[in-house]
Amino acid sequence: GAGVSQSPRYKVAKRGQDVALRCDPISGHVSLFWYQQALGQGPEFLTYFQNEAQLDKSGLPSDRFFAERPEGSVSTLKIQRTQQEDSAVYLCASSLSGRAPNTEAFFGQGTRLTVV
Amino acid sequence: SQQGEEDPQALSIQEGENATMNCSYKTSINNLQWYRQNSGRGLVHLILIRSNEREKHSGRLRVTLDTSKKSSSLLITASRAADTASYFCATFSGSARQLTFGSGTQLTVLP
């Protein structure tokens, strides 16, 4: 497809379970971002990749969160030992370049994670 | 934490009216972007305005940017029921290399 694809669309996890969320960016896009969006709020930055390099992970809320993009294309966001406060929509976005002004970001539909 | 704050938080208008949303931000930026999000869906990019631009148009959308006041506005003219969505401003700072979003305005256009 032409857009950013995320899977699964919905995930229900029991507290303490590990989860992995996948993002397929638009082919050829250098930059990839992960965001967390709580209900009724704007997206909060988690981490940023330029190709396979994770240049910014300042938004990851704890060491239970880990992201990778080993070949500079598909990315996985992993959350270990999930907790109820991790419940949110996780959005992935890609852009052609990581530099202004070409920073229009294309978002996937998101993965809605519910921790019970 | 979120850099931008949208105003108002919620806006309800009749179809055909114009809708104006405002965004304020805190730090210097390279560009500012507006996104739309329909309920339960991903964000869709609407328009990007660079820090050296003051106004930009795209179809029924008009965006202004005042860097001295660190504020932007999005005007949607001749609104339609299909414009009902949440609208977010997002700023891009080259040093941070991330888009930082505001808290959004929920727009409802009544048919």
Q: What is the pLDDT of residues B2-11, one digit of tens each?
A: 566 788 999 9
- Residue A102 above 60 pLDDT? no
- For chain B, give the percent of residues with pLDDT over 70: 93
Residue A47: which of A76, A73, A24 has the closest Cα? A76
C-alpha dist (Å) from residue B83 to B35, B89, B108: 12, 16, 8
Q: What is the pLDDT of residue A101?
A: 47
Q: Decide if A48 contacts A32 (C-beta within 8 A).
A: yes
Q: Does the CB of B41 have a partner CB in chain A at under 8 Å?
A: yes
Average pLDDT of chain A? 93
Q: What is the pLDDT of residue B99?
A: 85
> Using CB atoms, which residue from B42, B48, B98 is nearest to A108?
B42
Higher pLDDT, B103 or A102: B103
- Residue B62 above 50 pLDDT? yes
> Using CB atoms, which residue from A48, A100, A110 is nearest to B42?
A110
Q: What is the pLDDT of residues A54-89, one digit of tens each?
A: 999 999 999 999 999 999 999 999 999 999 999 999
Among chain B residues, CA nearest to A48: B98
B37: CB partners within 8 A, 6+ apart: B43, B44, B85, B86, B87, B88, B104
Please answer yes or no on whether A103 and B48 come within 8 Å at the CB atom.
yes
Average pLDDT of chain B? 91
- DSSP type of residue A2: -
Please answer yes or no on whether B101 and A98 come within 8 Å at the CB atom.
no
CA angle in degrees (0–180, nearest 5) for A66-A70-A71: 150
Give the residue-averaged pLDDT of B90-109: 86
First to last CA, chain A: 33
Weakest mean pLDDT among A20-29, A38-47, A63-72, A99-108: A99-108
- Residue B76 above 90 pLDDT? yes
Q: Decide if B88 contacts B35 (C-beta within 8 A).
A: yes
Helices (H), A1-116: none
Please answer yes or no on whether B42 and A33 come within 8 Å at the CB atom.
no
Higher pLDDT, A103 or A58: A58
Higher pLDDT, B40 or A88: A88
Strand stretches in A51-110, DSSP E: 53-56, 65-68, 75-79, 88-95, 106-107
Residue B30: which of B61, B3, B5 has the closest Cα? B3
Window 77-106 of B, Cβ < 8 Å to A: 88, 92, 94, 96-104
In the structure encoding, which two tokens stand for residue A53, read together?
Answer: 């390099």
Please answer yes or no on whether A101 and B33 come within 8 Å at the CB atom.
no
- CB contacts of B88 in chain A (<8 Å) are 42-43
Q: What is the pLDDT of residue B30?
A: 87
First to last CA, chain B: 36
Q: Does the CB of B30 have a partner CB in chain A at under 8 Å?
A: yes
